[in-house]
Amino acid sequence: MQGKTLYTILLSIIAVLTLALAVMVIFVFTAFNAKTGISSSAETPKPLVERAVPKEEQVEFQLYEDSNEAIFNIKSTEAHPNSFLMASVSIIYDGGKRNKLAEDRKLLLEKNLSILKQACIKYFMNQSYEDLGGEDAMDKARASLKVTFNEIVRPDDSEDMIIIDVVFDKWIRQ
């Protein structure tokens, strides 16, 4: 009789310790996710909404102020080891209805100017002389940089696509 009660008490202690361990594991994983900003819901970003922007509500922002030209090193190949691209990059962005958001968005672009320039450098460093010589090279660069720029300047709570287009006024490979 005494052996059965001792056995029941030991089983109760093991059950309580197992339950405590499970609660502790759940607490650690929830606290870790909250600390790193990882949410347990779906992690896919919301798709951006692009509105049809009339010409008078489109604003141009030159990425490189003085001459609006920049020289980018590009990926070396055996045929073209020390190549570069000279390009002028302008960003066309949505000024909002009746340009009410134009100044705020210009400040947002200026605030992220170094990150935008870095994105350009990173893109062109991964392209070779041959890649940039194709017929659709400018279109690929425009589309890729447009997506990247929108990811950079997009406020967390907004679904609006701010950057409408990326324009290259000059494109010289060397």
pLDDT in tens, 61-114: 888 877 778 888 888 888 888 888 898 999 998 888 888 888 888 898 889 999
Domain ranges, ordered by start, for the chain: 1-44, 55-173
Determine the number of helices (DSSP H) and then strands (DSSP E) in the chain: 4, 4
Fold designation for 55-173? Tetrahydropterin Synthase; Chain A (3.30.479)
Single-letter code of the amino acid located at 48: L
- Tell me which long-range contacts 143-147 makes (C-beta under 8 A, separation of at least 24): 145/89, 145/119, 145/120
**pTM recorded for the entire structure:** 0.67
